[in-house]
Amino acid sequence: MEFSSYSNVIIVGFLVWVAMAPKKRTANFGEWFLAYMAALLFSLIGSSEIMMSKPNAFFFTIGGTLAFFYVVARSMITVKIKR
């Protein structure tokens, strides 16, 4: 199982999970983020169980994990310019 042969599945997984991520402008961002994090965790656990027979699901969720780290970094880093 080569990592490079599943790079397109990882990219698609990243894009889908970024699209599903809660937006920071929502009123109850914390609740939506907790649901997003729990869905990703259950998806990762479920796909790791079937990794040997269907590795696409696992690599799709790896893209989701990268999207999770991207969402966390995007919400923590803010740039402010003083005048």
Percent of all residues in the chain with a pLDDT value above 70, rounded to a whole number: 96
Instruction: Specify the pLDDT at position 15.
Output: 92
Domain ranges of the chain: 4-76
50 pLDDT more than 70? yes
The string of pLDDT tens digits covering residues 10-39 is: 899 899 988 888 887 778 888 888 888 888
56 pLDDT more than 80? yes
pTM of the model: 0.76
Average pLDDT over residues 49-58: 80
Q: What separation in angstroms does the CA of 5 have from each of 11, 18, 32, 52, 83? A: 12, 22, 33, 15, 49
